[in-house]
Amino acid sequence: MMTLVKNYLKNIPGYKTNRKLLAFAVDDYGNLRVRDRETQKKLSEFGMPSTSVFDRLDSLETENDLAALFDVLSKFRDKNDNPACFSAYALCCNPNYEEMANQNFTSYISELLTDTFKKVPQGSQAWEAWQYGMKSKMLVPAFHGREHLNVRLVSDALKSNDSRIRFAFANGTFSNIESKNFPSYYAAFDQVDSSDTALHKEIIVDGLQKFEQVFGFRAINFNAPGGRESHDLHQTLLDNGIQFIDSGFEKIITLPKGKVQKQYMWMGKNTKDNLKVILRNAVFEPASNVNAIADAFKQIQIAFKLKNPVVVSSHRVNFSGGIEENNRKKSLADLQTLLNLVQTEYPDVEFVSTAELGNIMKGKDYV
């Protein structure tokens, strides 16, 4: 009952429109998390078992992953002849394990995503698939941060000779390293203390420059790894081209020493620094939810009923087949079912990226 109430509450305030605007916001593209099954086995034998769906299945996207995704998305075209599309919230950098090994893992070093693809098997084909996805407008990159790691925490762990981090990095991965929720190794902008703000600002500026270098354009929308960041970073985001920031209904704001606070968000809300909120008001996570189709469709129905655009939140792990091909196959079958349901009930649906949705909301608040 509370879930149903919340699904209505999050769609009551904010931007309204008679248009049936639908976007998919999918996190973690470009992130090299799980390397392969052999590495998973080594980690488990070392005492670092996979404890989440991400540690089990979330591998760097392959040509097959992207081709299968495009096959599904291309089957659905809206009234404007636009295909269904993913706003791919991507990381433009990964850890450079080889260079860190050369320095005996005494400090953290990153590399561009394009360099990562050069190193992995069939990486060039995967990057070519990326180009096709962008050109066909089925895969629209958005800024998810520079890397999906908290540089401060990782650097401190390397300096203290943390055996878990060093073993994972020596095996070319950063999966299975989490041992706490706050601050998290995976939440790039969690704060150990207030001195992290300056570092995080530097990472944002550098990350946005590298995003442009990798994808060929300046990002305008952002969702932090782990979905949380400090308000102190918003002006830096705005100053460096970000106009829109993704959020769930309950936005987690990070504070020093691993503390957090929650704020309620709505579609089109302006932050005090004049970033416009893109509310993720539906969730589709078929790799971890057996009721993913029904849950997502119900949330879509409620949002459209209350004249809200729909932003479906998801993660790349659902569509990753590098570790377990059946994971990708099942999730894509579920995605196709969901899109069928949507287009059958709402033949006037319009598929948009989250950046396009943001620009629509900026153009006019009420339609």
Instruction: Give the pLDDT score at 315.
Output: 98
Instruction: Give the pLDDT score at 286.
Output: 98
Task: Enumerate the H helices of 171-270 as residue ranges.
Answer: 196-215, 234-239
Read off the amino acid at residue 74.
S
Instruction: Give the pLDDT score at 256.
Output: 75
- The dihedral through the CA atoms of 135, 140, 143, 144 has a sign that is negative
Contact 75, 336 (CB under 8 A): yes
Cβ neighbours for 256, distance < 8 A, ≥ 6 positions apart: 191, 192, 193, 194, 196
Backbone φ, ψ for residue 282 (5° rounding)? -145, 155
Give the pLDDT means over successive 10-residue stretches in the chain (367 positions): 88 97 98 95 96 96 98 97 98 98 96 97 97 98 98 95 96 89 89 92 98 98 95 97 97 80 94 95 98 98 98 98 98 98 98 97 63
Lookup: tokens for 87: 């706003």
